[in-house]
Amino acid sequence: MKGIVTALAGIFLLLGIGGQVVAPVTAAPQEEAVAKTNLKVGDAAPDFSLLSDKWEQVKLSDYRGKKNVILAFYVLAFTGG
């Protein structure tokens, strides 16, 4: 979403320099290199059990009935993001 907004802002900026507004430009589909999951809202989250940084097994289903869980997948440690 943010990407689209930024792209649109960029397009408007370019158009703005010319001082004219041309017919609405359909934003070209950006090359989105996203490994898109097919999981959707309402799907059951696949269960897993993984070792934590404290070498403990953490199982998603352990939180069932107790907590909401935010799964934050990141690329690599120490890479800022």
Looking at residue 47, the DSSP 8-state letter turns out to be P
Nearer to other proteins, 19 or 32 (CB): 32
**What is the nearest approach in angstroms of other proteins to the Cβ of residue 70?**
5
**What is the nearest approach in angstroms of other proteins to the Cβ of residue 4?**
10
> Any idea of the CA torsion for 53, 54, 59, 64, to the nearest 10 degrees?
-100
**What is the nearest approach in angstroms of other proteins to the Cβ of residue 21?**
28
- The separation between the first and the last C-alpha atoms of the chain, rounded to the nearest angstrom, is 18
Q: In the structure encoding, which two tokens stand for residue 63, read together? A: 């939180």
Asked if 58 and 50 count as a contact pair (C-beta separation under 8 A), the reply is: yes
Which residues in 22-81 contact other proteins (CB under 8 A)? Answer: 32-48, 50-56, 58, 60-61, 63-78, 81
- Give the residues lining the site for other proteins (CB under 8 A): 1-3, 32-48, 50-56, 58, 60-61, 63-78, 81
